[in-house]
Every structure is written in structure tokens, then in C-alpha cells.
Structure 1
Amino acid sequence: MAPVDYTRLLPFLELVPLQAGHIIHEPGFPIRYLYFPTTCIVARRYELGNGTFTQIGTIGNEGLTGISVLLGAETSRVRKVVQSAGNAYRINASLLKREFDLGGDCQNLLLRFAQALIVADQGF
């Protein structure tokens, strides 16, 4: 990301400790914050009606949680749970969405991560 984009976002990034088992996003609930894991790992879980789930991926320091908000969704379709404790930077979803909508380097970087998730979900 270009230094100017990062500099605009820096005041809004909050470093937060996350414990294993902490639920970041619940299916069907509004996504208020997006998280950039630094030392934690977040599991993406698709839950079935009978209470069982399948883990469909993980997010570490290469990405962020809740990217669907940047693509127009307001809620998550999967549960995101901290699998390995550590830290993450948290930002208000509407603030990052505003930066994303400006286009440029920030948008390109986040779209590349979205593409990587899509490819991974398809098993390629």
C-alpha cells in the first residue's frame, strides 16, 4: 500500500489482543470492525444448521477479516473465530470502506486478497 494511503489509515488502526476462541464475526450480524491479524490466526468456519461446522480457511498476517463489507455486504456468511491467540489491528468497517471506495493502491491490494480467498474457496 502506498505510504499516503497507510498514513491516512494509521490514526484509525487500534492494536487489540485476541484470545483463542474469541468470535470476531457472526453469520447474519452486521460487521462493525475489520481485523488485520498480526500475530494471531483467524479461522473461517461455515456452520451447518445442526451445529456442526467445517473450517473453510484461515486468515493470518497476509490479510484481513470481513472483506465482504468492502464488496457491498453488510453481514458475514461465515463465523470468524480466533484459532491462535495474538494481536490484530482493528479498524471501523465504514472507515476502511471509504478508503477502499477511493480506489488506488489500497483498493488494489484488498481486491488481490479477495481474489486469493475466492481462488482458495474454489480449491484451485
Structure 2
Amino acid sequence: MASTRSRAASVDTFHDPRKNHLLAALPPPDFAAIAASLEPVTLRLGDALYASGVPLQHAYFPGTAIVSLHYVTTSGASSETAGVGHEGVVGVPLFMGGGSTPGSAVVQTAGLAFRLSRTVLQREFDRAGALQRLLLRYTQALIAQTTQTAACNRYHSVEQQLCRWLLLTLDRIPSGELTMTQELIGSMLGVRREGITEAAGKLQAAGHIRYRRGHIAVLNRAGLNARACECYGVVKKETGRLMVSTHHHDASSNHP
């Protein structure tokens, strides 16, 4: 009987929307207003959550999944503008009034997310309560990440970009291992696969990572940090400054 209760508790914890830091930071009344409408969904690697110019129908609050926001050119080339993990939400145009975006959202790391319909999100946002305040602060953090990514892609080496990307991804996953091909990383950074191969080879030779058949294991995070440009620190600091309330609430979000 005890083991049955333990398994049930584990399942409940796994599907707890408060794995997402924004949802965890909501005061109980605000969380209760949307809790029944939050649908747990399993996101698979490569799933497209929305496409360029198509009206969005849902927002996604990642729990263990990571979603990459892309800009795609008319020639089909693409580059990541920002990543979204348990710290944020995918679907900013829904509450900022745009309804759609020229970019796309693709799952970078498979995992769990919590889906909320456009109708419920807009209703609660328009109440001008805690959810609205959190979403607006997160939007500023996302803008900062997007701006820094653009500068990084323009001025820094492929190796520095790769270190930044790996460090930001590590902040969003519980382990130091990623399932990711060099071709996909190249697509996200907007560089040729050969450039990623060369940069990853240098990091592996230095003992910072191990790369095998689409799996990257980070062996020395401090080493990556030392070789990264300032962009990782800027994004991390600004996100932490703007979203400090989510960290405080998240620390106590596992209470019954």
C-alpha cells in the first residue's frame, strides 16, 4: 500500500504545473484560477508548436521541455533567437496583442509542458493581476535574451556561441547531458555544421565536453564558462534580476 501511495505521489509531482517557475510564482488564488485549464502535454524533439504567421491557439509553460524560438528566412535558413525552459512561457504574442509572429517555435529538448488555451490566458491576463505582472516581466527578460543573442551571433566566434548555448541549456535541464546533433545545433546558431564540428572538437579536446552520436555530455561546466563570451552572463543576470520573485516562490512550490 505504501509503495502504491509513493508511486501516485511521484506521478502527481511529475505532472505538477509548478515545475514551471512562472506558474510556481503565482499566489494560490491566481494559480487556482487557471489550474483546471492547464493541460499536461509531452513535447517531442522537433515538434513545431507554432509556425510563422499562423495565429496561436495555446501558450505552453515548459516543465522539463525546452523550446527554441526561431526566425526563418524566405530561403529556409533559420537561427535561434531565444530559448524557453522552465523559467518561461511560449506564446508571448497571445497576451501582447499580436496573435501571431513571423518566427516559429520548435522543441529543442523533449519533455513535459503545460498548455493553456488562448481564451483562458487572455481572460486572466486582462484581469491585471499577478499573472499579468509576471508575464510582462518575463517578456522583458525574453527581449533581453533575444537582443543579446543577436549581438552574440554578430560579434562572437562560433566556439563562444556554442559555449553560451550549452550553458543556457544546462540551466534548464537537471543533468549535464543533451540529446542534440551538431547539425541541429548549427541550425539553431545559424552556422554551418562544419563550424559546429570544429568548435565542439576544440571543447572536447580541452576536456570540457564529450560528444558521441548525437549526445553531448558536459564534463567541465567551469571550463565552458571560461571560454564563453559575456553574453551568457548578461542573459543569466538580467533574467535573474527580472524574475527574482519566481525563484523565491519556486523554492516553496512543492508544499501540499
Q: Secondary structure in 1 aligned to 2:36?
A: helix
The aligned residue for residue 27 of structure 2 is 2
% same residue: 35
* Counterpart in the other structure of 2:60: 35
Among 17, 23, 27, the residue aligned to 2:42:
17
By percentage of residues, which structure has more strand?
Answer: 1
| Structure 2: runs of 5 or more not aligned | 1-25, 149-233, 235-256
Q: How many residues of Structure 1 are paired with residues of Structure 2 in the alignment?
A: 124
Question: TM-score, normalised to structure 2's length?
Answer: 0.47
Which structure has the larger Rg? 2
More moved, 25-34 vs 69-78: 69-78
Instruction: Give the letter aligned to residue 49 of structure 1.
Output: T
2:87 aligned partner: 62
What amino acid does structure 1 have at the position aligned with 2:31? Answer: Y
- Structure number with higher relative contact order (C-alpha < 8 Å, ≥ 6 residues apart): 1
2: CA distance, partners of 1:115 / 1:103: 17
**Equivalent of 2:75 in 22, 36, 50:** 50
1:94 CA displacement: 1.7
How big is the shift at 1:77? 2.1
Could you list the structure 1 runs, at least 4 aligned residues long, displaced by more than 6 angstroms after superposition. Answer: none
Q: Give the distance between the partners of 2:105 and 2:68, measured in 1 at CA.
A: 6
Report the residue type matching 2:76 in the other structure.
G
Contact residue 69 and residue 75 of structure 1 kept, 8 A: yes
- Structure 1 gap ranges (5+): none
Alpha-carbon offset, residue 76 of structure 1: 2.2
Asked whether the 8 Å contact 1:44–1:80 carries over to 2, the reply is yes
1:79 matched to 2:104? The reply is: yes
Does residue 109 (structure 1) correspond to residue 134 (structure 2)? The answer is yes
Question: Following the alignment from structure 2 to structure 1, what is the Cα–Cα distance between the partners of residues 55 and 122?
Answer: 14
Instruction: Deviation per CA, 1:84-111: give whole Å up to 9, x if none.
Output: 1001000101211110010021100000
> What CA RMSD, in Å, does the superposition of the two structures yield over aligned residues?
0.9
Offset from partner CA, 1:30-60 (integer Å, 9 cap, x none): 1001000000100001001100001111000
Q: Which moved more, 1:31-40 or 1:114-123?
A: 114-123
- With normalisation by structure 1, the TM-score equals 0.96
Shift of 1:2: 1.3
